[in-house]
Amino acid sequence: EVQLVESGGGLVRPGGSLRLSCTVSGFTFNAWMIWVRQAPGKGLEWVGRIKTKSEGETTDYAAPVMGRFTISRDDSENTLYLQMNSLKTDDTGLYYCVLLAHGEDHWGQGSLVTVSS
Amino acid sequence: DIVMTQTPLSSPVTLGQPASISCRSSQSLEHTNGDTSLSWLQQRPGQPPRLLIYKISKRFSGVPDRFSGSGAGTEFTLRISRVETEDVGIYYCMQTAQSPYTFGQGTKLEIK
């Protein structure tokens, strides 16, 4: 069974930083991975993507997070990361990691990030 | 960016009756290899999104066959042949043809 487990969420002040992790089991980690977020009561928003190690771990990001968020991966640990800096109140929400498997995508359960003073 | 537009945004349905949700993309989602990167997700209340349909019409593992997807190019449809109580939630279409990946606004399915 494929499992994606996010961790690292919590309460942080505006301007602060947080790092989310997503550990994958039951599936080869050699796949593109993305982060998706959902503000309270709102729809889904793509945050960014990282390609495989053989593709140079190329990343790209949504405009609202570009320059503040960084996606990385550690294939030896089957773990995906999202480093979030200069956090804003608008960044509050549930953050999901998603493993892209040629359409047969697998979603995590989400990690809650609350940015508030 | 590719804009995904869903209709309707709310769909009250009688139990046992069919339901249909449309999704339109602002550009074609078809790859040069012939695949089309259009998926449908279900989000039940208080739950994370769950993949239902990928590549327009392929049902993900464990998804009941009352769910089906169709379409081509820029017009897509999710159909539920007979709505059950457990189908209540919000449905999203999603494109992964081009970065930034984008989602429809979501369609809330509720029981009349």
pLDDT (average), residues B37-50: 97
Contacts of A41 (CB under 8 A, 6+ apart): none
B98 lies within 8 A of chain A by CB: no
> Does B91 have pLDDT greater than 90?
yes
Model pLDDT, residue A82 = 98
Asked whether the beta carbons of residue A104 and residue B101 sit closer than 8 angstroms, the reply is no
Cross-chain Cβ contact B100/A94 below 8 Å: no
Taking the C-alpha atoms of residue A104 and residue A93, their distance in angstroms, rounded to an integer, is 25
- Closest-CA distance, A46 to chain B, in angstroms, reads 6
On the question of pLDDT at B54 being above 90, the answer is yes
Q: Which residue of B has its CA nearest to A6?
A: B48
Per-residue pLDDT at A101 exceeds 90: no
Question: Do residues A25 and A36 lie in contact, with contact meaning Cβ atoms separated by under 8 Å?
Answer: no
Q: Which of A4, A27, A46, A96 to mutate to test the interface with B (most CBs of B within 10 A)?
A: A46
Collect all residues of chain A within an 8 Å Cβ-Cβ radius of residue B99: 49, 60
CA dihedral A35, A110, B37, A80 (to 10 degrees): 40
Distance (Å) from the alpha carbon of A75 to chain B's nearest alpha carbon:
23
Q: How far is CA B61 from CA A104, A117, B11, in A?
A: 9, 43, 26
Q: With CA atoms as reference, report the closest residue to B66 among B53, B75, B76.
A: B53
Which of the 8 DSSP states describes residue B99?
S
